[in-house]
Amino acid sequence: MKGAPPLATAFFSLLSLASLTTFPLTAAPGDLDDLDAEVTGSYLLTTIVQPDGKILIGGDFAQVQGESRQYIARLNADGSLDTFFDPKANNLVYCLAVQADGKILLGGDFTSLQPNGTPVAVPRSKIARLNPDGSLDMTFDPKTNGSVYSLAVQGDGKILIGGVFSTLQPNGVPAPISRNSIARLLPDGSLDTAFDPNANHNVFGLAVQSDGKILLGGLFTSLQPNGAPSGTARQYMARLLPDGSLDNSFDPKANNWVGCMTVQKDGKIVMGGSFTSLQPNGAPSATPRNRIARLHPDGSLDETFNPNANNTVWGLALQADEKILLGGGFTSLQPNGSPASTARSFVARLQSDGSLDSSFDPKTNHWVYSLAMQADGRILLGGIFSTLQPNGSVTPDARHLFARLQNDPALQMLEIPSGSQVSWLRGGAGPELSRASFDLSTDGGTTWTPLGEAARVGSTADWELTNLSLPTSGTLRARGIPTGGVFNGSQSLIEQTASFVIIVDPVITLPIQKGDAAPGAGVHPLVPAGAVFTTLYPPATNASGQVAYRAKWKAGTQSGYGIYIDDIIIGVTGDTAPDTGGDTFKGF
Q: What is the DSSP string of 479-523?
A: EEE-EESGGG-EE--EEEEEEEE--EEPP------TTPBP--TTT
Indicate if 273 and 382 belong to the same structural domain. yes
Indicate if 5 and 56 belong to the same structural domain. no
pLDDT for the residue 588: 27
Q: Identify whether 82 is part of a domain.
A: yes
Our measurement of the distance from residue 211's CA atom to the centroid of its chain's CA atoms, rounded to an integer in Å, reads 13
CB 320 within 8 A of CB 462: no
Indicate if 2 and 120 belong to the same structural domain. no
Q: Identify whether 336 is part of a domain.
A: yes
Domain count, the chain: 2
Q: Identify whether 350 is part of a domain.
A: yes
The yes-or-no verdict on residue 568 having pLDDT over 60 is no
Give the start-end residues of each E strand in 101-164: 104-108, 112-113, 122-123, 127-130, 148-153, 159-163
pLDDT for the residue 539: 57
pLDDT for the residue 418: 85
Quickly list DSSP for 346-392: SEEEE-TTS-B-TT----BSS-EEEEEE-TTS-EEEEES--EE-GGG
Is the sign of the CA dihedral 262, 263, 265, 270 positive or negative? positive
pLDDT tens-digit series, residues 314-336 = 999 999 999 999 999 999 999 99
Q: What is the mean pLDDT of the chain?
A: 88
Q: Identify whether 419 is part of a domain.
A: no
CB 323 within 8 A of CB 307: no
Write the burial class of residue 267 (CB in 10 Å: 0-12 exposed, 13-18 middle, 19+ buried): middle
pLDDT for the residue 528: 60
Alpha-carbon distance of 439 to 407, in angstroms, equals: 29
Indicate if 145 and 4 belong to the same structural domain. no
CA distances from 372 to 34, 245, 386, 414, 494 (A): 17, 30, 18, 23, 12
> DSSP label at 31?
P
The yes-or-no verdict on residue 241 having pLDDT over 60 is yes
Domain finish residue from 375, 405, 435: 405
Domain finish residue from 367, 382, 405: 405
pTM (two decimals): 0.84
Indicate if 1 and 86 belong to the same structural domain. no
pLDDT tens-digit series, residues 446-458 = 999 999 999 999 9
| pLDDT > 70 fraction of the chain, expressed in percent and rounded | 81
Alpha-carbon distance of 120 to 174, in angstroms, equals: 24
Write the burial class of residue 137 (CB in 10 Å: 0-12 exposed, 13-18 middle, 19+ buried): middle
Q: Identify whether 248 is part of a domain.
A: yes
CA distances from 506 to 12, 65, 247, 331, 569 (A): 10, 60, 54, 66, 12
Average pLDDT over residues 186-193: 98
CB burial of 3-18 (b: ≥16 within 10 Å; e: otherwise) equals ebeebeeebbeeebbe
Which residues form the domain of 213? 19-405
pLDDT confidence tier of residue 163, bands split at 50, 70 and 90 = very high
Closest by CA to 58, choosing from 79, 89, 85, is: 89
Q: Identify whether 491 is part of a domain.
A: no
pLDDT for the residue 269: 99
Number of H helices, E strands in the chain: 0, 51
The yes-or-no verdict on residue 439 having pLDDT over 60 is yes
CATH number for 380: 2.130.10.10
Indicate if 214 and 362 belong to the same structural domain. yes
Average pLDDT over residues 481-509: 85
Domain finish residue from 405, 428, 445: 405
The yes-or-no verdict on residue 530 having pLDDT over 70 is no
Closest by CA to 3, choosing from 538, 556, 570, 542, is: 538
